[in-house]
Chain A
Amino acid sequence: MNILYRVFIDPFMQMGQAPDLLVQTLWEGLVAGVLYALIALGFVLIFKASGVFNFAQGIMVVFAALTLVGLHALLRKWGVSSGMVAAYLALAITIVVMFALAWCIERAILRPLVNQPDIILFMATFGLTYFLVGLGELVFGGEPKSMITEDLGLPRGAIEIKMLGGFVSLQKIDIAAAVIASVMVTSLALFFQKTRIGRALRAVADSHKAALSVGISLEQVWVVVWFAAGIVALTTGIMWGARSSVSFALEIVAFKALPVLVLGGLTSIPGAIVGGLIIGIGEKLGEFYWGPLLGSGIEAWFAYLIALIFLLVRPQGLFGERIIERI
């Protein structure tokens, strides 16, 4: 009975007793969720357009952030006096680098491996991960770096809001992250719905062969979509880097994004966002209220548990396409 009480009643009592703490936890979950959703978004973009389960998304986040910070430091050394100018110049060059990366990936990996089974392409993104880890450490060094938050004009500090008989503190950078993420998702949605190339992307997502037969260039679409995933990775890298620091430890966020993906469905952009928020909030609530029961560190697998339970009920995820099989 005691166990049942502690699992099913006590946490909710705690929530009721300290509503400000609950709001704070929810907010932190929401912010974490936004970042998970961003990474999942990168996965979904690529999976939809090229059918590749891109494991390298996590390292692309690190690589983009490292390139940005590294270039910024280099530009300052070369005598760009204003930090702001250097930051935005570095940002522009990083975007170019991400484009070059997308082009190289298309040329070196996707094109030779076209029409191979999914698992082979998945393994190829693994090779890519190894390569990028090696390259990143070789060029930028392995030690953690701090993100150039101020030079990019991102806000620092916290806002304290008085509510529910207590204080809730919101980090300004988190608010900025949420705003930027929503702007990016909106513009991606507009890009997909309204532009010519966006329509081509959706056509490829529906069927490669049909898209090819009406004259859509698969190569071009793949470069564009990997570039878009690179931009998403860069944004994620800046936001995540601003919260902690830029290092290869960030790579593990890829594992955080996997439950988000299966929860939302591998092919759905709204699914990635909603899934990210659910996982983020569920994880923080679980860690805060139920964590002490089991000992700390349940964050590592709690998200997977949520996703797994969910999958048993709905195997295609929240918004995923129902898989219809024929013999």
Chain B
Amino acid sequence: MFYREAGQYKTSYEADQATFPVLQDRIGMIVILAVAFVVVPLTMSSFVINSVLIPFLIFSLAAIGLNLLLGYAGQLSLGTGAFMGVGAYACYKLTTIFPDANIILLIIVSGFASAAIGTVFGLPSLRIKGFYLMVGTLAAQFFLSWCFIRIPWLYNNNVSGAIEVPTRAVFGIPVSGPNATPVTRYLIVLTIVVVMTWIASNLVRGRIGRMWMAVRDMDIAAELIGIRLPRTKLLAFAVSSFYCGVAGAMMVFLWLGAAEPDAFNINRSFLILFMIIIGGLGSLIGSFIGAAFIWGLPIMLKSVPETFGISIGSATLEHLQFMVVGALIIFFLIVEPHGLARLWQIAKQKLRVWPFPY
């Protein structure tokens, strides 16, 4: 009744091809953005912002990065964690070399370093695919993790082997480091994520995105209709690593404040992969839903026994949490193999015909 595009006439191609052609979607988007930009910083406690919302946004961005590669271009990669690490370490080195530069600019620039490394490790994709390619990208993961530990130059010869974020201010407001308030960091992360999501959504429905999807669906056929495979695949690796690199740099500079090499290990790659599988392959909204699910689930599970007044030891709780997460992953794969994004689509379709199903 409320969600219906009847009567919304389009008089130009631009209007027809807009990101949100339906009026209600546009209104909904504006409401969501208004809540995210205005209501959340005013009402939420800094704990919620710092430990729930900021990581959710950062992981969403990394998930979008992997989704571009796996969901759109069809290249299975497990190097996400390492590419995030490249972004983080590149940003750290850049801010060491240029201490006066704008840190937000450096975070974006460090994405390019990650993109370069990602392109190099994408080279095997020209020869191999599927699970073989996955193992190839694991080489990137383990090699880069090893580099983060063994090359002291990367962490400025710090004895602890970790990188610590210095305080950097933009226009006199501290943005990173211990003095930055969660709200400032949240707003910067939110802005970067919104802008990059908007770019991604235009990328995937344009020429490049269609090339990627053609390669994903059948690479030989794509080659026959004139798509250059090496270029397309490497571009997918570069763009994906760029997104992951920016996410990694934000993770260290705007969320954690310090990071050890362990923060970018294989488990991080798997976590991001979970997010897009659960959320939905080849769907940007799925990346957000998946990130919310995977990041929010353990937090929610932690609070369940407390609300029922049952006291369980923290170790037992953690083990149970593992079991529940594992079981839920299997459950969702069985119920909806196309991810939670498909459920969202179905709900929208139902809403469109409601209350008269015919």
Contacts and interface: CB of A to CB of B under 8 A. Distances in A.
Contacts of B315: 137, 142
A327 B270 contact: no
B138 A134 contact: no
B76 A304 contact: no
Interface string B44-85: 000000000000000000000000000000001000000000
B142 interface: yes
A304 B124 contact: no
B150 A134 contact: no
B37 interface: no
Contacts of B321: 134
Given A126-B270, A130-B329, A311-B124, A297 B319 contact: no
Contacts of B146: 297-298, 300-301
Contact of B329 (A117, A124, A297): A124
B136 A311 contact: yes
Contact of A301 (B139, B221, B319): B139
Interface stretch (B11-19, B26-34, B125-133, B230-238): B125-133
Interface string B106-134: 00000000000000000010011011100
B128 A311 contact: yes
A118 B76 CA distance: 11
Interface residues of B, number: 45
B161 interface: no
Contact of B132 (A109, A305, A311): A311
A293 B168 CA distance: 38
A308 B76 contact: no
Contact of B135 (A130, A131, A298, A307): A307
Given A119-B277, A297-B146, A315-B132, A130 B76 contact: no
Contacts of B145: 300
Contact of B326 (A131, A142, A307, A325): A131
Contacts, number: 133
A266 B131 contact: yes
Nearest to B324: A134
B282 to A, nearest CB: 12
A193 B218 CA distance: 36
A78 to B, nearest CB: 24
Interface string A144-180: 0000000000000000000000000000000000000
A249 interface: no
A113 B218 contact: no
Contact of B139 (A117, A129, A132, A308): A308
B326 A130 contact: yes
B329 A261 contact: no
A120 B220 CA distance: 23
B266 A120 contact: no
B330 A327 contact: no
Contact of B142 (A266, A304, A316): A304
Given A304-B142, A311-B127, A127 B326 contact: yes
Contacts of A12: none
A124 B323 contact: no
A300 B130 CA distance: 22
Given A123-B274, A259-B135, A130 B266 contact: no
A53 interface: yes
Nearest to A259: B135
Q: Among A127, A262, A266, which residue has the most Cβ atoms of chain B within 10 A?
A: A127
Interface in B124-173: 124, 127-128, 130-132, 135-136, 138-139, 142-143, 145-146, 149-150
B124 A308 contact: yes
B266 A134 contact: no
Given A124-B330, A255-B138, A305-B139, 11 more contacts: A113-B333, A124-B329, A127-B333, A134-B326, A137-B322, A138-B323, A258-B138, A300-B142, A301-B146, A312-B128, A327-B221
Closest 5 CB pairs of A and B: A134-B322, A130-B326, A131-B326, A127-B329, A134-B323
